[in-house]
Amino acid sequence: MADQSSPQALLGAAVAYERLLSVLLGVYLYEFLCSVRFDYILVTRNNTTRSLLARGVKALYMICRCSLLAACSGLILIDAGPGGLGCSLIIKLGYGTVISALLSATALLFVRVGVVWSWDRRLTYAFLSIYSVIFALAICAVILIEGRSSGNLFGPACNAVGGKFKVTPIVGNLVLDISLLLLLLDGLRRRWSAAGVFGLWYVLLTQGLVHLAIITVVEVPLTAFLYMNQDVLVMFDLPFTLMLPIGATRLYRALKGLFDKRQSSVNESAYTRPHPSRFQDAHAGASALSKQTSGGPPSDVYEMKVTLIKSTCQG
């Protein structure tokens, strides 16, 4: 078996890590530049006409974006920081910003689940309780974790000490994320089965499946490596955590873009065509489809669809 502490092995791991970090930071930079115009318009828009929920979701989105930017900076500092006495601060900053991005992405995801399930009280209270515990554990982990200089020329400049403290919040966040995505997919299947004709249903379904795949690829190995106390493997997996908030923010932008597109089409039809708008046409289609499939109130599917877009993306 090869000696993993040999200079050749350390050099190979360092080169692989540098390439991995460069690729993932490049992906984030591309995603950031492509969406910076969206962020600027969102920030400069007037909030007076927005609902309280929409303002809260907007704040969550911006927190997630800022945390993601800070997490990238933290990973760069961990990799190429000065080391020495500043390692503890660098490690706290790196892990703190990564956890902040993950938690804000989880909260952003729950908004979609909450609306799909019509803000079921049991679901909401259960989420708030679990989320509060994970948030408190994450704060404790960031406070208790320490850093030290790696002492070699290969790989990250700083290593984390106290890995056992960061296992619990990451495991809790993994379980919570998977549970939320399963609830989202189950809600789309059971409560929105008649809404499959709408683009919103496909956006939620495809984004939910993509997010579930990302969580499986990122958080499951990260959790396993933490339990194995394999710090080198953890450092390789840590940059992949950037994919989770990227997925959550892309879902927000997709839903916001869908609402803006439909809103503009309604405004255009109001001035160019005398017959009912597309929203009214969609209402009629949803009513007929709802009668055929669920036997419930005719406009339930359509009302839930409009509620989801307007309550979280309007303005």
CB-CB contact of 138 with 92 (8 Å)? no
Residue 290 in any domain: the answer is yes
Residue 1 in any domain: the answer is no
Domain of residue 62, residue span: 14-313
Pick the closest to residue 64 from 253, 314, 276, 275 (CA basis). 253
pLDDT of residue 146: 77
Whether 187 shows a pLDDT value over 70: the answer reads yes
Residue 268 in any domain: the answer is yes
Residue 52 in any domain: the answer is yes
188 versus 126: the higher-pLDDT residue is 126
pLDDT of residue 286: 45
CATH number at residue 261: 1.20.1070
pLDDT of residue 29: 85
Residue 6 in any domain: the answer is no
| Mean pLDDT for the stretch of residues 103-125 | 87
Q: How far apart are CA 282 and CA 313, in angstroms?
A: 19
Residue 9 in any domain: the answer is no
| Cα→Cα distances 186→190, 230, 274, Å | 6, 35, 40
Residue 155 in any domain: the answer is yes
Bridge partners, residue 146, by sequence: 161
- The number of domains in the chain is 1
| Cα→Cα distances 55→41, 49, 60, 111, 277, Å | 14, 10, 9, 12, 27
Give pLDDT tens digits for 249-296.
887 887 777 666 555 444 434 434 444 444 444 444 444 444 444 444
Residue 95: φ, ψ to 5°: -70, -35
131 versus 81: the higher-pLDDT residue is 131
Cα angle 256, 262, 267; round to 5 = 120
CB-CB contact of 134 with 169 (8 Å)? yes
Residue 4 in any domain: the answer is no
CB-CB contact of 158 with 83 (8 Å)? yes
Give pLDDT tens digits for 13-34.
667 767 777 787 888 888 888 8
Tell me the whole-structure pTM to 2 decimals: 0.74
